Every structure is written in structure tokens, then in C-alpha cells.
Chain A
């Protein structure tokens, strides 16, 4: 029997993996994938709460969230393309033109 806690633990695990990926990985593409992981971990917990609380707000929020994160990733990839055009690589630690 799956309980709410199972979903919350799954969501927390995905969220942690996502945050670790954003902070640790060098490759911007993997950073973008980690961001998606974070958004989807939130979707899981929202959907789980929505189901167990029998309230529709969470489900509605998930739909909005999917839409917004699609727009977000589109802009992220557009910026990524700009970075690649200028530098011919997509590593976060090469982006050190500004200091202070």
C-alpha cells in the first residue's frame, strides 16, 4: 500500500538530486536537466498532496507548473545556444568573465 510518505520521500530524493546536480555539475545541459528534475519533484509532491487531501488546487498547480517549466527550459536552452556560439563549449566553470 502506497502512502503519502512514499511519494514525499520520492519527491525529496528527486529534489535533492536536482539541487546537487545544479550545484555540482559543470555541463550546462546537465544543469538544465537537474532543474527539470527539481520542477518534476515538486509536481510529484503537489500531485500526491492533491490526491490524499482530495483537493483540486494541487492538480491545477501541477498543470500550471508544467507549462511554466516548459517556457523556462525554452529560454534556458536559448541562452545555452548563445553561450555555445560565443565560447564553443558549455561548461559552467568557463564562465568566469566577471569577478568581484
Chain B
């Protein structure tokens, strides 16, 4: 192999390089700022990410680069945009939140940007080594971010649970990767696909490897029964981190899931479709049912995100461009609607845990009509009510399930959505129909950053609901090469 065969093409990793550079810049600037003005780093990060967003959108090269380790295709460009949007929202709501809970240290933004880089590496990985390093960069950054409120007992407790289970899941994933490597003699996804064809279905190494890799990813997307870390980590973490964790980490794991299972393991699909079917159905039902009994809004959103993971998993099964592209579309919509809901939660949470309970939302419509309206919009979008993006996303996923003859899964999906209406509507009911417990209690004012985040999230949720066509086409175009590749 000569140097030319490696195809070292720095342009294909330009978004990753730029976000890394931005993270390092923020880290250095941190040294020159005093404790009061750390929020400036947030603005630097936002400005940088806004510049990188269009670059990430157009960075596409058809050839795998760096010795076939990196694939900068439209698929990874799509996900890079999702990650950057999620990071933008999280940084935007972090600045005031960190001031509120009085943890103003500058490395926060830098770690958040490094987590974004990890996600981007995962989405563009064409090799299991690269995928694993990206996944760990993301996971390690999140362990630190979840534990960021070092004096808060719940933050540290959630971080420890997340760390132990996250590291265990990495170990399981790695063990699976080692067996797949042993079976195919390569860690490259295209090479693995060459060996994992129909006749290889019975190979115990391959079967065990695929099952373990699926379990490793299911930990990251918080699918039942590998969800145990999620509610505790979500509750303990600073709220902007929770939002980023539920949107970014899930999208990154699904990107890896799609790429690995469609390109590398497509030949042995009967081996894993039963496993994914069961996990998907169990996750949808479990997430929706357990969310009903939650009293804390963050925990409720955590279980709701588990239920969403179950529904998104349907799209992995259908195994056509319609299903896979609706996974991508769903994750884009989810970034907006979930970020919107978490922005409202972050606004009302005060230091010491006040504002976390669902009953704190009683009578919000009378005191903050605008915010109550937007919160209702986000919750209805999460529940899947038209004309929001949540409805179109769910519709595309369930329609692709029916086209692929997964009737029972579609039925379970619709039932889980119906159950989930109950707990989303409970919050709306509290906001509009109940009297507040205590009129005297002051409500935090939404400053400029919250208003920007809320309006952007609402605009995204509505536009994706009313006019989904260009975004769906984009996802379709991005996923198509995966299936063309199979024809060879």
C-alpha cells in the first residue's frame, strides 16, 4: 500500500477538524477570562458552530479516505448537521443555566464541543476502530458533563451510574467487535460485508459478535432493558447536558447503528432482525408505560426518550430507503422538539431542585402564556400530533413498517403513541387547567438566549411538520448509496 492508496484527504474531515479547533480555541480563551465572564465562551462556541454548520452541510466526498477509515458521504453530512444543531441549542441554554446553578467554569463548552466531535466521528466512521474511538470520545465527554455539578449529590450519583453502565456497554460492544473481526479478518465495514453473506449466517463468532454489538448500541440509545442508566443520568445532569445527551448521543448511536447494520451486516439480516424487533417493541411499551407514573419532568422526558428510541428502531428493521431515511428524519425532528421541551425545563429549574416537579407547571398558562403555549407545542410534537414534525416523523416510520409488512410492530407503535399522549397531555392539563400552588413564588424570566432557543425550536418543529418534503428527500438521497452498495 502506497501513501496514495491511503487517500489522505483533509477536506473530508473538515467539519470534525473545525469543531476540534473551536474546542481548543475555547479552552485557550478560558485562561484569559475571569469567573464572571465565562458566558462569553458560550457565544464564541455558538458563533463558531454557526460558521461550521454550512461547511458541515456541503463537506461530501464520494471516496472513503484515510485508508478507508472515514466516509464523508451525504449520510454523515446529514448527521453532522443534526449534531451541530443539537450542540447549538445546548450551548445556547447552558449560558444562563450555569450562572443559575453557580458552576461557571470555562472547560464546560470545550468538553461539549469535543462530545460533538465524537458524534461526528461516529457518523462518518467506515471502520470499527474509528467508530469505537468516536463513541468513546463522545461517552467520556458526557461522563464529565453529567458530573459537572460536583457539589450536587444527584449529579455525581447519576454520573457514576452512567459511567459504570456506559463502560460496561463499551466493553460488550468491544467484545462483539473482536468476534466480528475474528470472523472476517478485518475491521473495515465494507470488508466485513464481503464475508457476512447468506452462507455465513450460522457462524457462531459472527452471530455472537452481531448480538453483542447490537447490545452495545442499545445501551447508548437507551433501549429497554439497557436503559437503566438513562433516567438517573438525565435527572442528575445539568439540564442542557441532559438535552444534549438525549438528542446528540441518541442520534450518534443511531447513525452508527444504521451504518454498521446496513452496510456490514446486511447479508445476515435474519440473524438480527428478530432481536431488533423484540427490543423495539419492548422499548416502546416500557418507555410509554413507565413515563406515566413519573412526578419529575426530567424523568418523564427520560422515559419518553426511551419510548422514542423504540419507535425509531422500527426504521432499522424495515430495511429499505423509506425506513432508514425516516430514522434520519425522525432524529432531525427529535433534535428540535426535544431541545424545545428541555429549554423550557431548563428555564424553570432553579438551584436546589425547585421547578423540577410536574406539579410546578400548574397554572403556568396564566402567568407565562407564551412559554406555556410553546411547551404545549413541543409536548404535542413529542406525542405525535399534527401539524408538528413529530407527527410526520412518526407517520413516515409507521408507514414504512406497514410497507415492509411489520404489521404487529406498527400496531404496538400506535398503541405506545396513544399511551404516551396521556403523560404529555398531563403536563398541558396542569399548565392550562390547574391553579398554581403558590402565586407568590417568583418565576424565572426568559432572557434573550432562551427566547432565541425557544423560537428556533418551535420554528424547526413546525416547518418540519408542515413542509417535510425537502428534508425527507435529503435523507433519502443520503441513505440510497447504502442500498446500492448491496447490489454489488
Contacts and interface: CB of A to CB of B under 8 A. Distances in A.
B171 A57 contact: no
Given A31-B164, A100-B231, A79 B159 contact: yes
Given A57-B129, A97-B153, A98-B158, A39 B163 contact: no
A52 B178 CA distance: 13
Contacts of A19: 168, 171-172
Contacts of A18: 171
Given A58-B181, A79-B156, A95 B171 contact: no
B479 to A, nearest CB: 27
Given A61-B178, A82-B150, A86-B151, 19 more contacts: A19-B172, A35-B168, A38-B171, A38-B175, A45-B179, A49-B178, A53-B182, A61-B128, A61-B177, A61-B187, A68-B133, A71-B140, A79-B159, A82-B159, A97-B153, A97-B154, A98-B232, A98-B235, A98-B236
Interface string A23-37: 000001001000100
29 contacts: A8-B182, A15-B171, A22-B164, A45-B175, A45-B179, A53-B185, A57-B129, A57-B187, A57-B188, A58-B181, A61-B128, A61-B129, A61-B132, A61-B177, A61-B178, A61-B181, A61-B187, A64-B133, A65-B174, A72-B167, A76-B167, A79-B143, A79-B147, A79-B159, A80-B160, A92-B164, A97-B153, A98-B158, A98-B236
Interface size band for A? 35 or more
A39 B77 CA distance: 32
Contacts of B160: 28, 79-80, 83, 95
Given A95-B160, A100-B293, A100-B294, A64 B132 contact: yes
A89 interface: no
Lowest 10 A-B CB distances belong to which pairs? Answer: A38-B171, A49-B182, A42-B174, A45-B178, A82-B156, A53-B185, A57-B187, A68-B136, A46-B178, A95-B157
Interface of A: 8, 11, 15, 18-19, 22, 28, 31, 35, 38-39, 41-42, 45-46, 49, 53, 55, 57-58, 60-61, 64-65, 68, 71-72, 75-76, 78-80, 82-83, 86-87, 92, 95, 97-98, 100
A54 B178 CA distance: 15
Given A61-B129, A68-B133, A86-B156, A42 B178 contact: yes
B296 A100 contact: yes
Contacts, number: 121
B271 interface: no
Given A41-B175, A61-B187, A97 B157 contact: yes
A39 B140 contact: no
Nearest to B295: A100
Interface of B: 128-129, 132-133, 136, 140, 143-144, 147, 150-151, 153-154, 156-161, 163-164, 167-168, 170-172, 174-175, 177-179, 181-182, 185-188, 231-232, 235-236, 293-296, 299
Contacts of B179: 45
Contacts of B182: 8, 45, 49, 53
Nearest to B168: A22
B186 A72 contact: no
Nearest to A19: B168
Contacts of B236: 98
A19 B158 CA distance: 20
A49 B156 CA distance: 39
A20 to B, nearest CB: 11
Contacts of B185: 53, 55
A74 to B, nearest CB: 9
A38 B163 contact: no
A9 to B, nearest CB: 13
Contacts of B150: 82
B295 to A, nearest CB: 8
Given A35-B168, A45-B178, A46-B178, A55 B186 contact: yes
